[in-house]
C-alpha cells in the first residue's frame, strides 16, 4: 500500500483509538466492546495460515484483566524468562521447570501453542556457569545435558525452540560468548543436533535482533544457515526479533530478507516485535508506529514461509523497553491501561479485517 494511503488510513485509526479510549470505562469494558463480534488478531491471522502471539512472563499472570486479553486475543505464547537457563537450571544438574510449566499450562487452558525461548544465550546465565573457567570437554557436556534435559521436558508441549539466541555481533562476527570462546563456532551445529535428538518433531530456530533488514548481521545468518543446511544440520527457521525504534528508521528490506531465507528452505518468524519511540508519545509518532506495525505484518503475509508474528508482550504495562532504554517506550499496540492504540487497528487492517 502506498505510504500516503497508509497514513490516511491510520489517521482514521488514530481517531478510532481516541474515541474508543473516551467511551470505554476501563479495560474490561473495552475488552467486551472489542470482542463483541470482531475477530481477534489470532483469528484474522489464521485466515492467512499464520499465528499471532504474545510473550508473557510469570509475575504478570496475577493480573486478571491482562491474562484475560492474553488468553483471548492470541493463539501463541512465548515465555519471556521462564525457560531461560538461569530459571531452568539454577544449580548445576538441578532443574526447575516451574516457571515454564506455568506458562505452558496457561497456554493449554487457552488452546494456544508455545514457542520455547531460549536454550543457549550469553545473557541470564546462572552464576555457577559463568563464575568459573571450563575446559572444552567440560562445557560441551554441560551444554549437551542442559539442552537435552530442557527439550525432553517440553517435548510435545512446544512447537518451536529458539535454540541459539543472539550469536552474532552487528558486523557479522561471532559474539564472544562463553560458548564461542570455549567451544568455537561449532557449538551452534552441536546444539541444534542435540535439540533434534531430544525432540525430533520440534522446529529449531536461530534468533536475533537487528537482522530484519539485509545487512552484515543478517548476511552472517544467511551464510551460517547455508552452511548448516549443506551439512544437514537440523535447522528449520530464523527468528527475526524485530525490536524496532522509530528514530532508527524502518527496515525497508524486510520482505526481501524473509524471501532469501525462504529460498534456503527455512521458515521465518517475527519473534519479539515492539516498536519503541522517544517519549513523550505524540499522535504523529503513534501514527508512524502504527504504519510500521502494518508494514511488518504485510511483509510477513507476503512471504509464504513467514509463519507468524509474536509481540514482545502486547501491552506497555509490561514492556521491557523503559527499563533498558531510558526515555523511550510506548512500544506496543496496547497502552498501560490495556487500551488499544493506533497500532492495534493497523494490525487488524494489515490482517485483512473486513
Give the model's pLDDT for residue 31: 41
Concatenated DSSP letters for 251-296? Answer: -TTHHHHHHHHHTTT-EEEEEEEEEEEESSP-HHHHHHHHHHHHHH
Active site residue 284: no
Q: What string of H, E and C letters represents the secondary structure of 134-202?
A: CCHHHHHHHHHHHHHHHHHHCCCCCCEEEEEECCECCCCCECCCHHHHHHCCHHHHHHHHHHHHHCCCC
Give the model's pLDDT for residue 353: 78
How many alpha carbons lie under 13 Å from residue 186 in its C-beta half-sphere? 7
Q: pTM (2 decimals)?
A: 0.90
Place of cell 528452505: 265
Give the model confidence (pLDDT) of 139-156 as tens digits: 999 999 999 999 999 999
Give the model confidence (pLDDT) of 41-100 as tens digits: 999 999 999 999 999 999 999 999 999 999 999 999 999 999 999 999 999 999 999 999
Give the model's pLDDT for residue 29: 37
Give the model's pLDDT for residue 37: 64
Average pLDDT, the chain: 92
Give the model's pLDDT for residue 3: 33
Give the model's pLDDT for residue 46: 98
User: Which residues, 6+ apart, have CB-to-CB distance to 106 below 8 Å?
Assistant: 56, 61, 67, 71, 77, 112
Domains of the chain, earliest start first: 3-350 (3.20.20.80)
Looking at 73, 166, 212, 255, which residue is catalytic? 166
User: Which residues, 6+ apart, have CB-to-CB distance to 31 below 8 Å?
Assistant: 65, 68, 69, 72, 338
Closest CA to 223 of 90, 14, 214: 214
Give the model's pLDDT for residue 47: 98
Active site residue 272: yes
Looking at 89, 212, 255, 272, which residue is catalytic? 272
**Which residues in the chain show pLDDT less than 70?**
1-37, 354
Amino acid at each position: 500500500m502506498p505510504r500516503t494511503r497508509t497514513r490516511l488510513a491510520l489517521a482514521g485509526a488514530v481517531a478510532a483509538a481516541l474515541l474508543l479510549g473516551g467511551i470505554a470505562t476501563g479495560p474490561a469494558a473495552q475488552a467486551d466492546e472489542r470482542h463483541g463480534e470482531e475477530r481477534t488478531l489470532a483469528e484474522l491471522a489464521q485466515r492467512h495460515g499464520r499465528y499471532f502471539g504474545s510473550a508473557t512472563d510469570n509475575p504478570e499472570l496475577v493480573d486478571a484483566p491482562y491474562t484475560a486479553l492474553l488468553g483471548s486475543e492470541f493463539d501463541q505464547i512465548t515465555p519471556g524468562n521462564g525457560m531461560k537457563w538461569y530459571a531452568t537450571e539454577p544449580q548445576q544438574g538441578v532443574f526447575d521447570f516451574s516457571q515454564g510449566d506455568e506458562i505452558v499450562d496457561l497456554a493449554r487452558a487457552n488452546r494456544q501453542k508455545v514457542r520455547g525461548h531460549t536454550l543457549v544465550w550469553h545473557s541470564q546465565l546462572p552464576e555457577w556457569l559463568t563464575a568459573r573457567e571450563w575446559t572444552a570437554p567440560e562445557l560441551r557436556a554441560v551444554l549437551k545435558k542442559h539442552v537435552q534435559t530442557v527439550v525432553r521436558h517440553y517435548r510435545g508441549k512446544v512447537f518451536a525452540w529458539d535454540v541459539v539466541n543472539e550469536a552474532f555481533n552487528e558486523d557479522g562476527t561471532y559474539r564472544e560468548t562463553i560458548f564461542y570462546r570455549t567451544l568455537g563456532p561449532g557449538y551452534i551445529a552441536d546444539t541444534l543436533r542435540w535439540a533434534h535428538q531430544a525432540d525430533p518433531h520440534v522446529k529449531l530456530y536461530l534468533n536475533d535482533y537487528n537482522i530484519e533488514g539485509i545487512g552484515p548481521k543478517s548476511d552472517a545468518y544467511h551464510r551460517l544457515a547455508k552452511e548448516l543446511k549443506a551439512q544437514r544440520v537440523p535447522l528449520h527457521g530464523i527468528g527475526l526479533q524485530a525490536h524496532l525504534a522509530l528514530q532508527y528508521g524502518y527496515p525497508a528490506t524486510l520482505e526481501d530478507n524473509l524471501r532469501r531465507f525462504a529460498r534456503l528452505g527455512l521458515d521465518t518468524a517475527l519473534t519479539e516485535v515492539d516498536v519503541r519511540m522517544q517519549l513523550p508519545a505524540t499522535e504523529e509518532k503513534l501514527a508512524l508506529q502504527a504504519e510500521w506495525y502494518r508494514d511488518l505484518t504485510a511483509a510477513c503475509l507476503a512471504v509464504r514461509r513467514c509463519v507468524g508474528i509474536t509481540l514482545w508482550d502486547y501491552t506497555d504495562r509490561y514492556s521491557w523497553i523503559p527499563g533498558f532504554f531510558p526515555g523511550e517506550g510506548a512500544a506496543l499496540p496496547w497502552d498501560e491501561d490495556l487500551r488499544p492504540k493506533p497500532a492495534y487497528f493497523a494490525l487488524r487492517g494489515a490482517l485483512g479485517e473486513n
